[in-house]
């Protein structure tokens, strides 16, 4: 194989990797819905491989990591290699109960689920196995609890002491 010049920038690495021997069969297998393996990729090399795949994926790429402590480093590496900001689907340290159900982690998980079901899902999601094993509401449960808010239609709004008017109704 003829030698290729080394990339000069981190964002040049994914196309360089894609042109490497053995990467085309990985992409071909994944496009057919088959499994593929990249052996020996550790730390930033693994993030580079995932970043290369993210640039080839027509939808969301989910990257599942073994350890929560690796999420930040992976997010930084993926942004450096691809310019894509990855989102994190977090895990609770312990499952919520009635007193803790309205916490930051629960809010982040719900926002992610809604984004995945929306018109512009994220390109890249980082998570851990515990986060995937923890329960999430179904689409039906989310629809039942959804509240729509819109400006109220009034013919003669009441003015506040500051002179402004506004009305919100739920429907």
pLDDT at 126: 97
d(CA 85, CA 76): 8
Beta bridge pairs of residue 169: 150
pLDDT tens per residue, range 18-47: 998 999 999 999 999 899 888 888 889 999
* Within a domain: 28: yes
Decide: 113 and 125 in contact? Cβ < 8 Å: no
Q: What percent of the chain has pLDDT over 70?
A: 87
Widest Cα–Cα separation across the chain: 79
Decide: 51 and 77 in contact? Cβ < 8 Å: yes
d(CA 46, CA 74): 9
pLDDT tens per residue, range 109-149: 999 999 998 899 999 999 999 999 998 888 898 888 877 77
* Within a domain: 168: no
The single-letter DSSP state of residue 96 is -
* Within a domain: 154: no
Count of the separate structural domains present in the chain: 1
Strand (E) or helix (H) holding 76: helix 71-82
* Within a domain: 171: no
pTM value is 0.75
- Domain range holding 46? 10-134
């Amino acid at each position: 194989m003829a030698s290729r010049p080394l990339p000069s920038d981190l964002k040049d690495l994914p196309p360089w990797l894609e042109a490497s021997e053995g990467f085309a069969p990985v992409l071909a297998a994944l496009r057919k819905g088959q499994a593929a393996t990249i052996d020996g990729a550790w730390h930033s090399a693994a993030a580079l491989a995932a970043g290369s795949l993210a640039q080839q994926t027509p939808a969301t790429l989910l990257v599942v990591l073994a350890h929560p402590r690796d999420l930040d480093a992976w997010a930084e590496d993926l942004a450096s290699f691809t310019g894509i900001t990855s989102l994190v689907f977090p895990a609770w340290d312990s499952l919520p109960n009635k007193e803790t159900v309205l916490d930051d982690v629960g809010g982040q998980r719900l926002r992610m689920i809604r984004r995945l079901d929306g018109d512009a899902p994220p390109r890249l999601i980082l998570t851990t196995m515990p986060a995937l094993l923890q329960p999430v509401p179904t689409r039906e449960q989310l629809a039942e609890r959804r509240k729509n808010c819109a400006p109220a239609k009034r013919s003669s709004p009441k003015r506040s002491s500051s002179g402004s008017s506004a009305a919100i109704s739920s429907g």
